[in-house]
Structure 1
Amino acid sequence: MSETHGYDVVIEWTGNYGSGTDSYRSFSRAHEVLAAGKPPIAASSDPAFRGDPARWNPEELLVASVAQCHMLWYLHLCAVGGVNVFDYEDRAHGVMTMDESGGGGQITEVTLRPEVTVTDASMAEKAHALHGDVHSVCFIARSVNFPIRHSPSIRVQ
């Protein structure tokens, strides 16, 4: 039997100004993402859709999930593959393309730009190559229907 894992979150809308969704402009998109034992994530919609720019939006959280999963699997593959990573930072970028009707859209690509520092020059080539192996094991990458591109840079400490 296959092993499964469950993930429970609560999304709590906090943007009722008093008249609910009486009109498109009568409510805030503010909400909180909650999970047991964790601090809330203040969220909203993208500012282009009347959201609060000071709060996380679902599109940013999706791009962050892709980048996090890639990093965690990459670090695992490096650890078991003999590549000693000293530092890792990714400036990921996602693109949402709107439908021509203007009513919907979807994430059409994510580009990961990890900057990895390894402890020895002899590890640089393998460190670069391991980015290509992550897609086959990353839970999030295997779950989405858009391309995830990688543009890594490898430095030696």
Structure 2
Amino acid sequence: MTPHYYDVHLGWQYARLGQLSSPALTDTIEVATPPEFAKGMPGVWSPEHLLVAAVSGCFMTTFLAIAENSKLDFSDFDCRATGKLEETENGLMISAVHLFPKVVVLHDSDIEKARRVLLKAERHCLITNSVRSQVTMEPTIVVAITEFD
């Protein structure tokens, strides 16, 4: 595989606020210091939020690709994620990201396949494999309720 490059531009606006853009994308994102830090701004995406979102988003897209290749029949997927910022011997860092994916399958017989696909997605997520944070997963798999007339 040839290397891929992802270009972004961050322009400082004022105080602790910047605007993130990419020539490949139409939308911009405001980025600021989180409110837990001095002069932080509430209600604005922080680098910490973006890191946790990158892990979660990569996990989802990896899951979707593997589910498609595995022919997993599911009706819904969502994933809550939590990042833990703490002081370490190397300074402040997001030391852990915990994923809480939920998959809704259509049949009881797909529960184990869904579990295998989730575990494979966890192992192969390229963002997870690119960060030093410990990434763990606590999946929930449920069977969709089918209504009959």
TM-score by length of 1: 0.84
1:136 deviates by: 3.2
2:126 and 2:34 map into 1 onto residues whose CA distance is 25
Distance in 2 between residues matched to 1:100 and 1:133, nearest whole Å: 31
Larger radius of gyration: 1
Match of 1:151 in 2: 138
Deviations for 1:100-145, whole angstroms, at most 9, x for unmatched residues? Answer: 79xx400100000011111221111110222211233211011011
The residue number in structure 2 matching 1:19 is: none
Distance 1:122 1:48 in 2: 46
1:129-140 counterparts in 2 under 5 A? Answer: 129-140=116-127
In the other structure, the counterpart of 1:4 is: 3
Distance in 2, matches of 1:13 and 1:99, equals 29
Whole-angstrom CA distance in 2 between matches of 1:29 and 1:134: 35
Q: What amino acid maps onto 1:133 in structure 2?
A: K
CA–CA distance in structure 2, aligned partners of residues 6 and 118 of structure 1:
35
- 2:77 is the counterpart of 1:88: yes
Normalising by structure 2, report the TM-score. 0.89
Residue-pair matches, total: 142
Q: Which amino acid counterpart does residue 113 of structure 2 have in structure 1? A: K
CA contact (8 A) 1:33 1:42 kept: yes
Structure 1 residue 48 and structure 2 residue 36: aligned? yes
**Other structure's SS at 1:113 match:** strand
Q: Which consecutive residues of structure 2, in runs of 5 or more, have no partner in the other structure?
A: 145-149
Match of 1:21 in 2: none
Are 1:142 and 2:104 an aligned pair?
no
Determine if contact 1:63/1:110 at 8 Å carries over to the other structure. Answer: yes
CA contact (8 A) 1:116 1:154 kept: yes
Residue equivalent to 1:109: 96
Bigger fraction of residues in strand = 2
Measured against aligned partners, the alpha-carbon deviations of 1:80-105 in whole angstroms (never above 9, x if no partner) come to 1121121111110000112479xx40
Match of 2:147 in 1: none
Code of the residue aligned with 1:9 in structure 2: it is V
